[in-house]
Amino acid sequence: MAQILEAVTPDNVPFRFSAYDGSSTGPEDATFGINLRTPRGASYIATAPGDLGMARAYIAGDLDLEGVHPGDPYPLLTAMGDMHFAMPPARTVAAIARSLGIDLLKPPPPPPQEALPRWRRVAEGLRHSRTRDADAIHHHYDVSNRFYEMVLGPSMTYTCACYPTDNATLEEAQENKYRLVFDKLRLKEGDRLLDIGSGWGGMVRYAARRGVRVIGATLSREQAQWAQDAIRREGLQDLAEVRFSDYRDVAESGFDAVSSIGLTEHIGVRNYPAYFRFIKDRLRPGGLVLNHCITRPDNRGRASAGAFIDRYVFPDGELTGSGTIISSMQDVGLEVRHEENLREHYAKTLAGWCQYLVDNWDECVAEVGEATARVWGLYMAGSRVGFERNVVQLHQVLAVKLDGQGKADLPLRPWWQA
């Protein structure tokens, strides 16, 4: 097994690799290591090359990461990100196949945490139909509210924070994020806000505490229940509600503002025009919309996520560049007034979540099982690497619905504090 790894990595392996067959490679005194424990793990890797096969072996417990905590394997993933893989000559490929044998080239059943591949999901409806969107959200968000409490911390906020200073805490940064969205939307007491994809109601409750009347909508039943309980605990029920509902079922209109924080990733790029048209229809003339979502650094690549993300984290998730989002908003008649990239803030946010997972590892494993806890550690640490290396970004785009005369009645310059 070690010889196979050496065949596909022309550079020196920066970690210690050992396998069930007794072979090994890499520096003996390496800080980090990978231990391939079983033939099934080798089959996962051989039959699904790339991140999916490695993830299957790791989640199933057939592959272990050494020198890092499973709640935060960031240091090892960073080292692996510096590796270069190359396809060996055809003769070497044939020799590798013969050495593995026919049994190792038969794909084992994937771990139960894995969603069906996209082509199999057709039975659940067309991509981004209401039924299939609900199933995707259920897969990702209805893991366990208690699990999310331990991973996300007191803010119960699963979106990028905005750090006011480099040494601010995660909770301070999440509060600052809600403050930033609130201020960009020029909200004040007595205004009406629609928060789409409201999660556990963080933005809903932040605005309601300041006298804003808020409707939130989420396709996660567990999120909606948790949010409604939190609203009642804070005595905000006269101002706020979070509905277990598809955003398309919100019939009210005339809102002063709409916040969309972390939802655009789920709706599908082809649906952007309909999505932003829906938002425009819900706003009063002069009303503002703030769209906050993960993006790609360009607008040319494919929208679908990688295999590991699609199967284990965000089924049917799609990402594109901020330019596509801005164009979609403009094309439905919204005037874009400002955009900014919070990429580095998301890397810091993910580091904070991983630390929470490490600190609460035993409780998290007791709540959801080690395999699911491994998924989240791998996903969050890998995403941190992605944000740091500009593989993905996080953009906030602010736009306004003009009145019939093309006016917005806004200040000449940005009115919020960064």
Q: What share of the chain is helix, strand, coil (3-state, %, to 5)?
A: 45, 15, 35
Confidence of residue 87 (pLDDT cuts 50, 70, 90): low
**DSSP bridge pairs for 265:** none
What are 36-50's pLDDT values in tens digits?
999 899 888 888 877
> How high is the pLDDT of residue 304?
79
pLDDT for res 138: 46
Are 265 and 236 in contact, with CB atoms under 8 Å apart? no
| pLDDT value at residue 83 | 64
Tell me how crowded residue 20 is: count the other CB atoms within 10 A of its CB: 15
Position 1 scores a pLDDT of 67
| pLDDT value at residue 89 | 56
For residue 406, what are its two tokens?
């093309």
Would the pLDDT of 305 be above 50? Answer: yes
Instruction: For the chain, give every domain's residue range.
Output: 2-104, 131-401
pLDDT above 50: residue 136? no
Residue 197 bridge partners (DSSP): none
pLDDT-derived band of residue 58, with 50, 70 and 90 as boundaries? very high
Pick the closest to residue 295 from 350, 343, 351 (CA basis).
Answer: 343
Domain 131-401, what architecture? 3-Layer(aba) Sandwich (3.40)
pLDDT for 134 equals 46
Q: Where are the beta strands (DSSP E) in 262-345?
A: 283-295, 334-341
Q: Quick one: how far is CA 38 from the chain centroid?
A: 31
Mapped onto helix, strand or coil, the DSSP state of residue 104 is: helix
> Is the confidence at residue 334, as pLDDT, over 90?
yes
- pLDDT value at residue 257: 98
pLDDT at 50: 75
Average pLDDT of the chain is 89
SS (H, E, C) 211-279: CCEEEEEECCHHHHHHHHHHHHHCCCCCCEEEEECCHHHCCCCCEEEEEEECCHHHHCHHHHHHHHHHH
pLDDT digits (tens, 9 = 90+) for 223-268: 999 999 999 999 999 999 999 999 999 999 999 999 999 999 999 9
Q: Is the pLDDT of residue 51 over 90?
A: no
Sign, CA dihedral 357-358-364-368, equals: positive
- Nearest to 176, CA basis, from 198, 160, 188: 160
CA–CA dist 380, 70 (Å, integer):
11
- Residue 417's CB is within 10 A of a number of other CB atoms, namely 9
Phi and psi at 415, nearest 5°, equal -105, 5
Q: Which two tokens stand for residue 252?
A: 């009210």
Flag the least confident range among 14-23, 141-150, 181-190.
Answer: 141-150
pLDDT in tens, 195-205: 999 999 999 99
Give the model confidence (pLDDT) of 119-133 as tens digits: 444 555 555 456 545
- Rounded mean pLDDT, 318-339: 97
